[in-house]
Amino acid sequence: MFLNTKEGVQSLGSGAIGDLRTDKTGAMVVAQGHAALAEAVIKGNCYGVCNQAGVTSQAGLSATTPVLTLYNPLGSGVNLVVWYAGAAFTVAFATAGAIWLAVGSVIQSAAVTGTLTTAHRNLLVGSSNSPKCQTLLAATLPAVPVGISLLGVGLTGAITTIPFAQTVGKIFDGAVVLSPGANASIQTGVASGASGMFCEYIWEEIPVT
């Protein structure tokens, strides 16, 4: 069996048929991890967003005012592929609590509402492409979401005693996909420290086929 191969990165249109890719030694090149993300970014359909000001989260999984919500509206024509989700805290929790990535299923009769962010950006910086999906502050969800992934645990220790605090997050690498009508938010088991929670997401939009 003979396979056509081509050395180097190709620039193919959507739906085009191309050759398998090799490096200069003839070894097959397979994009994964960071390389796959870079290729997705170059296509102009990857976006990032984070809070520009700290917010206090609700205590427990809640449909009311999550800190930052990803929402794929019905009729968007795309699937929202989550590459990364994480959160950082500048104020300690009053009591320890879990930190989840939580998702809400499609409810045809009720959309997610809230304040659209202005700080989201295409990760191909300078691209004019705008996202079809929405990132919302102080959103109202149609129903209480379900935690599907534990990102970390918020603790009560004095955070000013250490040089810096790590972000609690996870590289999902496309393992979570929001179909049109679905939503995702980062939520906490107890209320976060006052005005001290910041969230961030990286996502890709892929046409529904």
105 pLDDT tier (thresholds 50, 70, 90): confident
10 and 82 inside one domain: no
**Does 133 have pLDDT greater than 80?**
yes
Instruction: Identify whether residues 153 and 194 lie together within a single domain.
Output: yes
One domain for residues 149 and 187: yes
95/151 same-domain check: yes
Residue (of 60, 62, 145, 148) closest to 104 by Cα position: 145
8 A C-beta contact, residue 47 and residue 127: no
pLDDT for res 95: 94
Q: What's the confidence (pLDDT) of residue 139?
A: 97
Residue 198, Cβ density class (10 Å: 0-12 exposed, 13-18 middle, ≥19 buried): buried
Assess whether 166 and 65 both reside in one domain.
yes
Q: Which domain holds residue 65?
A: 46-207
Q: What is the pLDDT of residue 6?
A: 72
Confidence grade of residue 10 (pLDDT, cut at 50, 70, 90)? low
The SS3 assignment for 91 reads coil
Is 72 found in the same domain as 13?
no
Euclidean distance between CA atoms 34 and 169, whole angstroms: 16
Nearest Cα residue to 168 out of 112, 47, 87 = 87
Nearest-angstrom CA–CA distance, 180 and 78: 7
Q: Does 20 lie in the same domain as 121?
A: no
Checking if the pLDDT of 16 tops 90, the result is: no
Cα separation, 71 vs 159, whole angstroms: 32
Domain co-membership, 93 together with 183: yes
Mean pLDDT of the chain: 89
> How many folded domains does the chain comprise?
2
The answer to whether residues 144 and 68 belong to one domain is: yes
When pLDDT is averaged across residues 125-145 and rounded to a whole number, the result is: 96
The mean pLDDT value for 42-51 works out to 95
Residues 37 and 51 in one domain: no
